[in-house]
């Protein structure tokens, strides 16, 4: 270690390594070296330089740079993320306290997977097969669905979410999941000409009265509940759909290969004291 490259009072090299282990430790082939922690012209802001390599390609590597804030609680690269040895602990606590959308899987929330999705989002539709595989591969997980309608580009997303919450009130969480799958299956029908009929058909498939669901969707309380779910996502940094929060670790999960995603889930679970043995015979996507 060249001390000339470590001019900032904090974070220490050890603190950076702890953070990177929490962030990247799921990948047994990734190795890194904290090359520098430097002062910057901004008071208290440190520049961290890390050399990263893959064991399978030892001749190749890349440099990663991020900045830490004066309070030592956040790191900034492309986005602002929590920093420290347990960078996801605060968000995990928020999810455990506030994620109250429809749930399936385990009753306890020791391993809590929260999906933020938009019912008119094509990527969210495709991601449901991944969520089903996660449910099979991690039966010890509680999986929660939180509505995140992006109305600027999906004009039927809010109405679909509203009616979904009404179906949930009438038919419980199981009915809600049947409803959203029916909406995803009929997503092409979310148009001005067919939208109401598409949602009615989804409510019917879930065993609910479509007229009651439609009337319920007009109530201020239901709209407030959906908007609260979206605000929860905004508050933790969700800015696209689908996003998956794994015990507080916010991930653009549809962009991550499934094999990698399940490693992240297992790694985070074990870090948080939930013993998960990641076996090759798990129900991975084909």
Task: Decide if pLDDT at 279 tops 90.
Answer: no
Residue 91 to residue 98: CA distance in whole angstroms: 10
Residue 44 vs residue 282, higher pLDDT: 44
> Selecting from 3.40.30.10, 3.40.250.10, 3.20.20.140, 3.40.718.10, what CATH number does the domain 90-271 have?
3.40.30.10
pLDDT given for residue 282 in this prediction: 47
pLDDT in tens, 19-68: 999 999 999 999 999 999 999 999 999 999 999 999 998 888 999 999 99
Query: What's the mean per-residue pLDDT of the chain?
Result: 94
Mean pLDDT of 94-102: 98
pLDDT given for residue 1 in this prediction: 63
pLDDT in tens, 150-166: 999 999 999 999 999 99
State residue 54 phi and psi, 5-degree precision: -110, 130
pLDDT in tens, 242-251: 999 999 999 9
Task: Report which DSSP code applies to 42.
Answer: S
Residue 145 to residue 113: CA distance in whole angstroms: 9
Whole-model pTM: value is 0.90
β partners of residue 33:
51
Residue 156 vs residue 78, higher pLDDT: 156
Task: Decide if pLDDT at 2 tops 80.
Answer: no
């Amino acid at each position: 270690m060249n001390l000339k490259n470590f001019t900032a009072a904090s974070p220490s090299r050890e603190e950076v390594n702890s953070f990177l282990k929490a962030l990247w430790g799921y990948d047994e082939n990734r190795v890194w070296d904290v090359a520098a922690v430097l002062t910057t012209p901004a008071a208290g802001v440190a520049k961290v330089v890390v050399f990263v390599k893959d064991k399978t390609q030892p001749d190749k590597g890349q440099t990663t740079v991020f900045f830490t804030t004066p309070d030592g609680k956040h790191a900034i690269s492309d986005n602002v993320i929590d920093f420290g040895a347990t960078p996801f602990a605060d968000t995990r606590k928020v999810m455990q306290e506030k994620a109250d959308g429809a749930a399936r899987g385990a009753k306890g929330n020791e391993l809590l997977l929260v999906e933020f999705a938009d019912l008119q989002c094509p990527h969210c539709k495709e991601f449901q097969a991944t969520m089903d595989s996660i449910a099979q591969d991690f039966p010890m997980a509680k999986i929660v669905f939180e509505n995140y309608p992006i109305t600027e580009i999906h004009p039927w997303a809010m109405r679909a979410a509203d009616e979904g919450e009404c179906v949930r009130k009438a038919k419980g969480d199981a009915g809600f999941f049947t409803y959203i799958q029916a909406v995803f299956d009929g997503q092409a029908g979310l148009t001005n000409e067919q939208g109401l009929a598409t949602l009615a058909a989804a409510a019917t498939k879930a065993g609910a009265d479509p007229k009651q669901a439609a009337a319920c969707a007009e109530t201020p309380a239901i709209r407030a509940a959906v908007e609260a779910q979206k605000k929860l996502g905004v508050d933790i940094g969700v800015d696209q759909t689908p996003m998956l929060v794994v015990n507080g670790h916010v991930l653009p999960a549809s962009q991550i290969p499934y094999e990698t995603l399940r490693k992240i889930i297992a790694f985070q679970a074990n870090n948080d004291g939930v013993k998960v043995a990641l076996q090759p015979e798990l129900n991975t996507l084909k």
